[in-house]
Each structure stands twice: as structure tokens, then as C-alpha cells.
Amino acid sequence: MAHYDTIYEYEIALAGEGLSVGIVMSRFNPDIGEGLLAACVSELKRLGVADCDIRIVSVPGALEIPLLLQTMAQSDRYDALIALGAVIRGETYHFEVVSNDACRAVMEVQLDTGIPVANGILTCEDDDQALARTQTKGSDCARTAVEMAKLLHAMCEGPA
């Protein structure tokens, strides 16, 4: 029988006090983007992130999000970042290109910089699907950003 007395498990921490969070939002589908942003900011504040520690920048579309995320990550000013936007399927292959490339680039930013990025770029069939997800996804991204920032801090400071 195995003994686990010496195993350390990192706790889930959602206390956002003292964290600095950057948000990059696409303006391409404005109603969806604003819905995501409202839910995200509301949840960040509920978790204790101060207004003065939240920075928001908007960009034209989903493909522009990664460059701003990378710039913010490299600034050493943020504990976590959040990408918000929506790519809605149209009649051409463009949906796949934008969805795949934007999401891949968001992932690369966090892996290349070590700054966690919560990906809230919705990829949906239509506006109704996206609008139905704005509240949940915006809130989820806030919690993910805070949890990952706290986890990374704990791993750097806690038991090895």
C-alpha cells in the first residue's frame, strides 16, 4: 500500500488581490466582445483584482490579439493575460484560418513568455451561439487567469 504523506498538492487559489491582469479584446463582433469583457471584468473584480490592476486594449480582429498579448507579456507588467473575441463561421474557409491561427498564436504567447493566457476567443457557428456563451466564457477566463497566475507564483515560491 502506497503512502502519500510527503506528496505536496498545490491548492486552487482564486484570490486576485495584488494581481495585474491584461485583457486584449477583438472589436470585430462588438456585441459579443463587449459581453465577454463585461463578464470577465465583473468576475476579476469579484475575485479581488483591483480596477487599477486591470488593463484593457482592443484590436480590430482575432488575428491581431496575439501580437498585443505578446507585447503585454514581454513588458513584465502582468501576472496573467486574457484574450477575448469571437470568430463566427461564414461561407468560406476564412473561419478555419482565423480560428486555428489565432488560437495557436495565443497558445504560443503563453508558452514562449511564461505568462498565462486565458483564451476566450469563441469559435461558433452563428451569433446566437456566441452570445449565449459570453457570460460563462468571460467569467471562466477571469477565473482561469487568476488561478494560473497564483499557481505559477506558488510553484516558484513553494515546495519543490
Give the residue numbers marked as catalytic: 94
Angle (nearest 5°) at CA 12 between 8 and 15: 130
Tell the burial category of 4 from Cβ atoms under 10 Å away from its Cβ (0-12, 13-18, 19+). exposed
Using CB atoms within 10 A of its CB, is residue 82 exposed (0-12), middle (13-18) or buried (19+)?
buried
145 phi/psi in degrees, rounded to 5: -60, -45
Give the type of residue at 119.
N
Determine the Cα–Cα distance for residues 28 and 33; give it in Å rounded to an integer. 8
Task: Answer for the pair 79, 113: CB distance below 8 angstroms, yes or no.
Answer: no
